[in-house]
């Protein structure tokens, strides 16, 4: 089919941007065609039209260019890319098709200035390259701040996926030669989008950012990322900061499960910040500080010196309440210098933002004065001269409160530029002349209601009400517009002046824009100093915030120990203690030593087991980000990794069943933990049958004892496991206590030594408001069970020798679960009713279904099929 030249141009350009919506500029609209149009009309709920006739009709839809940003934002939010194709020639000057080019590709991982950029969060793009079979070089960048880092990951595909998820990347750039399985895994993951970028060659211009790093995999990943950034941004990226190298053992490792389970930055259930650890400890007052705190939580420290340094600063902050709070009040007035600096280098900063920068910088002397009072002058802000220079420069050039638009004038102060002043005089004089005209016209015509006005279409005019038009002398006024009650006129001299004024105004805004761009590029040389400054202010903000948190919530400074012992007195869960009634939190001790490094926690549901376990993990995280901790006294070693198995949230998105996720998390702990790690296993084995669960739980405990030796907290509702303490020397039983008062149970939340005697499950059911009939019946059944079963302990093997092989300690379960009479005679009868053939078939199918290899969705489909079959019968 013959295409018009414009459509040919479209198709040519589109061929290079297959994975993006091509916003094709046509006059005042961005148009989309073909598939793009069909998809965009659905996603954006805009009307699908067409171009051409009959069979050759091309699907098309468009958005006005002035409101395009909104539509673009919505598409990016849904995880799409948008290639913006502009007319790069003035259509008035060319014959035929205007030249068009893609000027920018907007993508979720490369936001510079968007409503989607959260103030207190980074927005990451991640690129990787493979090194051999089981290692990856990983580079990460937040384009909006210019921060970049690189790290080496040893591990398999799943580890890479976890790293991507843990790093919260919105977009992933992959090499083109990755394994198919990995490719598929990445591409089908809903949390990020993936682009293949094969070019990983050196880029001379940016060599300085990565020259301190030698490892080829890291360099490749970094360069791959740069190529992608340049291809999408289509401009040089002078604000990128030197790559920071994080060796993987330079921070406390937590995989994505641990981070989620511990609810560090958001809650498991509804993904809200409120209710997370971050929500408690984030008392930062600047956006930069907010982002740095998230980074610290992401990578807690493992070097004692660095932790102790942070603690020392917090102590200083705690000593002087008044000075600290005044400092924090001043910091509140500091804008996001880091993102402003990025936008300066990127050339997208506007005058209002530069004025914000100036105001922020002029706070520096005040801030240094507060720091001196706090005795912290040696830590930050030692070199202020560049900022003084910048404040003066901006003060001499930009007005106090400039408009957002940089093309409509009103940016530059009088006296900054002679030529500008001349135009301004002309414009002001002209306007003065027009004001004068109104007076003189009124006088000469005698019409008191006559007025001079302006609108965009007709320019300046003289307006006279209909009743007075007869008073106007003949010939002097030319009628231009008729309104309901008035006529509008122009005169030759009015038009002459108008031309002068408009010309001056136009020149004025052009010149102002030119001057502004010049100022902006002069500011550019300050970008590196501004980035350093941003780092210092963020740090002071986070640490001052930690002091405020410690003060408000009565935290103490944890002592670091070189032994592996944990000793916490009066420990609390930082989040739970704030959501329950003040003062009602029951404080608990945690003591772990080399001959007591595993605790088996039993006790009633709702008794506080999970809380107790998380309490320790969160105290460790708080300690290692340098913060004080919720306790009366705390001594802790530095941990290298934390593993968790907590909660039972189904990872539906990645198509894994609860039990599978549980086992994956456990696998990670068992294969990667060291004697310096912390492992939390909460209610392990719950997702499978009782005996399966108990057997696995026991085998896991034995393995950790024998082959890892990590500090481990282990909660279970299988009382049978408490006898393990008799055979594993380093395992101790503790339990959360509960008391019975007048037939109801009271949870004391106190963790005490020894095993719990019962689980109070029925009471919890009662508390939850289950129908009375159910709970009394359960009570009855429980009694029967207890008498008929007696003690159902698992058989155990003596374990007094760490040299024992795993196989040797594996348990065999010989006890057959007895068939209980669970049903009343009525129900029994019903159950015995003959099953028809179809039902029998179905039952076999259900029994034979392999759950481990089903995604939840496939499982739903199956259930749906079965239901349909049953209903059809
Ligand atoms: P379990 O894991 O034993 O079922 P949880 O740890 O989930 O119990 O605790 C249940 C609830 O009990 C928590 O949501 C919290 O409100 C309360 N709780 C737990 N520990 C304490 C404590 N030490 N002091 C006060 N309340 C607590
Ligand atoms: Mg629990």
Confidence at residue 81, expressed as pLDDT on a 0 to 100 scale = 95
User: Is ligand 1 within 6 A of the CB of residue 289?
Assistant: no
Alpha-carbon gap, residue 724 to 698, rounded angstroms: 8
Beta strand residue intervals within 71-123, DSSP E = 81-87, 100-106
Residue nearest to atom 10 of ligand 1 (CA): 606
Residue nearest to atom 20 of ligand 1 (CA): 608
Alpha-carbon gap, residue 577 to 587, rounded angstroms: 9
Residue 831's pLDDT band, with cuts at 50, 70 and 90, is very low
Confidence at residue 437, expressed as pLDDT on a 0 to 100 scale = 86
Pick 117-248's CATH classification: 3.40.50.620, 3.40.50.720, 3.30.420.110, 3.40.50.2000: 3.30.420.110
Residue 789's pLDDT band, with cuts at 50, 70 and 90, is low
Smallest-distance ligand from the CA of 734 = 1
Confidence at residue 743, expressed as pLDDT on a 0 to 100 scale = 66
Residue nearest to atom 17 of ligand 1 (CA): 608
Alpha-carbon gap, residue 348 to 340, rounded angstroms: 9
Q: Encode 237-259 in three state secondary structure.
A: CCCCCCCEECCCCCCCEECHHHH
The alpha carbon of 682 and the centre of ligand 2 are apart by a number of angstroms equal to: 7
Mean pLDDT of the region 39-54: 88
Alpha-carbon gap, residue 701 to 203, rounded angstroms: 52
The alpha carbon of 571 and the centre of ligand 2 are apart by a number of angstroms equal to: 18
Mutation choice for ligand 1 from 608, 718, 719, CB with most ligand atoms inside 8 A: 608
User: Is ligand 1 within 6 A of the CB of residue 611?
Assistant: yes
Question: Nearest Cα to 636, choosing from 588, 566, 550, 738?
Answer: 566
Other residues' Cβ atoms within 10 Å of the Cβ of residue 843: 12
Bigger pLDDT: 16 vs 820: 16
The interaxial angle of helices 856-872 and 837-848, nearest 10 deg, is: 170
- DSSP annotation of 332 reads T
User: Is ligand 1 within 6 A of the CB of residue 164?
Assistant: no
Confidence at residue 290, expressed as pLDDT on a 0 to 100 scale = 97
Residue with tokens 């493992």: 302
The alpha carbon of 609 and the centre of ligand 1 are apart by a number of angstroms equal to: 7
pLDDT digits (tens, 9 = 90+) for 366-420: 999 999 999 999 999 988 889 999 999 999 999 999 998 888 888 899 999 998 8
Mean pLDDT is lowest, of 248-262, 443-457, 520-534, 652-666, for: 652-666
Mean pLDDT of the region 186-206: 89
Q: Which helix (H) or strand (E) holds 532?
A: helix 527-553
Q: Which helix (H) or strand (E) holds 768?
A: none
71-92 burial string, b = 16+ CB within 10 Å, else e?
Answer: bbbebbeeebbbbbbbbeeeee
Mutation choice for ligand 1 from 586, 611, 616, CB with most ligand atoms inside 8 A: 611
Contact indicator for 418, 516 with CB cutoff of 8 Å? no
User: Is ligand 1 within 6 A of the CB of residue 609?
Assistant: yes
Residues found in the chain: 873
Mean pLDDT of the region 115-137: 90
Alpha-carbon gap, residue 296 to 140, rounded angstroms: 16
Domain residue limits, the chain: 5-106, 117-248, 282-457+490-553, 559-824, 834-873
User: Is ligand 1 within 6 A of the CB of residue 735?
Assistant: no
User: Is ligand 1 within 6 A of the CB of residue 610?
Assistant: yes
pLDDT digits (tens, 9 = 90+) for 659-699: 777 777 888 899 999 999 999 998 876 666 777 778 888 89
Bigger pLDDT: 600 vs 656: 600
User: Is ligand 1 within 6 A of the CB of residue 100?
Assistant: no
Mean pLDDT of the region 271-277: 92
Categorise residue 648: left if φ over 0, alpha if ψ from -120 to 50, beta otherwise. alpha
CATH number 3.40.1170.10 is the correct assignment for the domain at 5-106? yes
Confidence at residue 533, expressed as pLDDT on a 0 to 100 scale = 96
Mean pLDDT is lowest, of 148-157, 428-437, 641-650, for: 641-650
The alpha carbon of 580 and the centre of ligand 1 are apart by a number of angstroms equal to: 10
Residue 643, φ and ψ in degrees, nearest 5 = -120, 145
Residue with tokens 């029925």: 762
**SS3 of residue 803 by DSSP:** coil
Confidence at residue 179, expressed as pLDDT on a 0 to 100 scale = 86
Cβ-based burial of 439 (10 A; exposed 0-12, middle 13-18, buried ≥19): exposed
Mean pLDDT of the region 831-856: 73
Bigger pLDDT: 472 vs 105: 105
The alpha carbon of 722 and the centre of ligand 2 are apart by a number of angstroms equal to: 17
Confidence at residue 823, expressed as pLDDT on a 0 to 100 scale = 40
Bigger pLDDT: 42 vs 721: 42
Residue 842's pLDDT band, with cuts at 50, 70 and 90, is confident
Bigger pLDDT: 822 vs 716: 716
Alpha-carbon gap, residue 85 to 11, rounded angstroms: 12
The alpha carbon of 777 and the centre of ligand 2 are apart by a number of angstroms equal to: 25
Pick 559-824's CATH classification: 3.30.200.20, 3.30.200.100, 3.40.50.300, 1.10.10.10: 3.40.50.300
Contact indicator for 711, 682 with CB cutoff of 8 Å? no
User: Is ligand 1 within 6 A of the CB of residue 586?
Assistant: yes
The alpha carbon of 766 and the centre of ligand 2 are apart by a number of angstroms equal to: 18
Task: With a cut of 80, say whether residue 85 has pLDDT above it.
Answer: yes
Confidence at residue 228, expressed as pLDDT on a 0 to 100 scale = 95
Residue with tokens 């109104």: 438
Residue 652's pLDDT band, with cuts at 50, 70 and 90, is very low
User: Is ligand 1 within 6 A of the CB of residue 827?
Assistant: no
Bigger pLDDT: 469 vs 628: 628
Alpha-carbon gap, residue 873 to 836, rounded angstroms: 10
Mean pLDDT of the region 164-192: 88
Average of per-residue pLDDT values in the chain: 86
Mutation choice for ligand 1 from 606, 644, 756, 760, CB with most ligand atoms inside 8 A: 606
- Cα separations (Å) of 408 from 17, 157, 523? 34, 53, 21
Confidence at residue 802, expressed as pLDDT on a 0 to 100 scale = 36
Q: What share of the chain is helix, strand, coil (3-state, %, to 5)?
A: 45, 20, 35
Fold observed for domain 282-457+490-553: MutS, DNA mismatch repair protein; Chain A, domain 3 (1.10.1420)
DSSP code per residue over 133-160: TTEEEEEEEETTTTEEEEEEEES-HHHH
Confidence at residue 500, expressed as pLDDT on a 0 to 100 scale = 83
Alpha-carbon gap, residue 74 to 21, rounded angstroms: 12
End-to-end CA distance of the chain: 55
User: Is ligand 1 within 6 A of the CB of residue 607?
Assistant: yes
Confidence at residue 501, expressed as pLDDT on a 0 to 100 scale = 84
Question: Nearest Cα to 106, choosing from 193, 202, 203?
Answer: 193
């Amino acid at each position: 089919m013959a295409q018009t030249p414009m459509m040919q141009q479209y198709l040519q350009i589109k061929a290079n941007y297959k994975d993006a919506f091509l916003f094709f500029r046509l006059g005042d609209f961005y148009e989309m065609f073909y598939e793009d149009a069909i998809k965009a009309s659905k996603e954006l709920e805009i009307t699908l039209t067409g171009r051409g006739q009959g069979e050759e009709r091309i699907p098309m839809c468009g958005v006005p260019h002035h409101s395009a940003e909104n539509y673009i934002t919505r598409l990016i939010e849904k995880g799409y890319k948008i290639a913006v194709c502009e007319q790069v020639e003035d259509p008035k000057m060319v014959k035929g098709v205007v030249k068009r080019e893609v000027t920018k590709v907007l993508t979720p991982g490369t936001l510079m200035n968007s409503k989607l950029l959260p103030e207190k969060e980074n927005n990451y793009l991640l690129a990787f390259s493979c090194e051999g079979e089981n290692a990856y070089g990983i580079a990460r960048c937040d384009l909006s701040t210019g921060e970049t880092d690189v790290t080496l990951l040893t591990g398999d595909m799943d580890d890479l996926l976890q790293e991507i998820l843990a790093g919260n990347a919105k977009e992933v750039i992959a090499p083109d030669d990755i394994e198919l399985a990995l490719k598929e895994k990445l591409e089908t993951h809903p949390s990020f989008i993936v682009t293949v970028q094969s070019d990983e060659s050196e880029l001379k211009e940016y060599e300085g950012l990565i020259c301190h790093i030698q490892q080829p995999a890291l360099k490749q990943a970094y360069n791959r990322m740069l190529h992608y950034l340049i291809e999408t941004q289509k401009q040089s990226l002078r604000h990128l900061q030197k790559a920071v190298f994080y060796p993987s053992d330079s921070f406390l490792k937590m995989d994505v499960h641990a981070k989620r389970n511990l609810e560090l930055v958001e809650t498991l259930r509804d993904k809200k910040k409120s209710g997370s650890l971050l929500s408690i400890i984030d008392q930062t007052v600047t956006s930069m500080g907010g982002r740095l705190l998230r980074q610290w939580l992401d990578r807690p420290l493992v070097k004692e010196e660095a932790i102790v340094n942070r603690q020392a600063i917090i102590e200083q902050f705690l000593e002087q309440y008044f000075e600290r709070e005044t400092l924090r009040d001043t910091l509140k007035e500091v804008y996001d210098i880091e993102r402003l600096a990025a936008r300066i280098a990127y050339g997208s900063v506007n005058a209002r933002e530069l004025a914000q920068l100036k105001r922020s910088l002029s706070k520096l002397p005040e801030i240094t004065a507060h720091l001196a009072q706090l005795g912290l002058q040696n830590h930050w802000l030692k070199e202020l001269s560049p900022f003084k220079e910048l404040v003066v420069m901006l003060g001499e050039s930009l007005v106090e409160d400039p408009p957002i638009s940089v093309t409509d004038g009103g940016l530059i102060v009088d006296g900054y530029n002679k030529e500008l002043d001349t135009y301004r005089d002309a414009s002001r004089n002209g306007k003065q002349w027009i004001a004068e005209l109104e007076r003189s016209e009124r006088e000469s015509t005698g019409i008191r209601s006559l007025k001079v006005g302006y609108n965009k279409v007709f320019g300046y005019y003289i307006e006279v009400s209909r009743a007075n038009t007869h008073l106007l002398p003949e010939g002097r006024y030319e009628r231009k517009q008729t309104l309901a009650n008035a006529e509008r006129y122009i005169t030759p001299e009015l038009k002459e002046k108008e031309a002068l004024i408009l010309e001056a105004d136009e020149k004025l805004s052009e010149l102002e824009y030119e001057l502004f761009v010049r100022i902006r590029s002069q500011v550019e040389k300050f970008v590196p100093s501004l980035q350093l400054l941003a780092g210092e202010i963020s740090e002071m903000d986070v640490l001052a915030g930690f002091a405020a948190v410690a003060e408000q919530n009565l935290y103490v400074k944890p002592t670091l120990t070189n032994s592996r012992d944990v000793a916490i007195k009066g420990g609390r869960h930082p989040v739970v203690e704030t959501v329950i009634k003040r003062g009602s939190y029951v404080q608990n001790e945690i003591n772990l030593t080399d001959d007591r490094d595993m605790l088996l926690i039993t006790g009633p549901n709702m008794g506080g087991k999970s809380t107790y376990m998380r309490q320790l993990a969160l105290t460790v995280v708080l300690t290692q980000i340098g913060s004080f901790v919720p306790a009366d006294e705390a001594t802790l070693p530095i941990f290298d990794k934390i593993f968790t198995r907590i909660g039972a949230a189904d990872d539906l998105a990645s198509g894994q069943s609860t039990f599978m996720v549980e086992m994956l998390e456990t696998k990670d702990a068992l294969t990667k933990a060291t004697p310096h790690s912390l492992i939390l296993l909460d209610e392990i084995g719950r997702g499978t049958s009782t005996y399966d669960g108990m057997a696995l739980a026991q085998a896991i405990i034995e393995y950790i004892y024998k082959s890892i030796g990590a500090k481990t907290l282990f909660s279970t509702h299988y009382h049978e496991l408490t006898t393990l303490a008799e055979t594993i020397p380093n395992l101790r039983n503790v339990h959360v206590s509960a008391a019975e008062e007048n037939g109801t149970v009271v949870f004391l939340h106190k963790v005490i030594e020894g095993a719990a005697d019962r689980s109070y499950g029925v009471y919890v059911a009662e508390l939850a408001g289950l129908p009375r009939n159910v709970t009394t019946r359960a009570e009855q059944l429980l009694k029967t069970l207890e008498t008929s079963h007696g003690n159902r302990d698992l058989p155990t093997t003596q374990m007094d020798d760490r040299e024992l092989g795993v196989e040797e300690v594996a348990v065999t379960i010989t006890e057959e679960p007895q068939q209980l009479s669970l049903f009343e005679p009525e129900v029994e009868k019903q159950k015995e009713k003959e099953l028809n053939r179809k039902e029998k078939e179905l039952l076999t199918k259900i029994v034979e279904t392999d759950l481990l290899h089903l995604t939840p969705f496939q499982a739903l489909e199956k259930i749906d099929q079965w239901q349909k079959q049953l209903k059809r019968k």
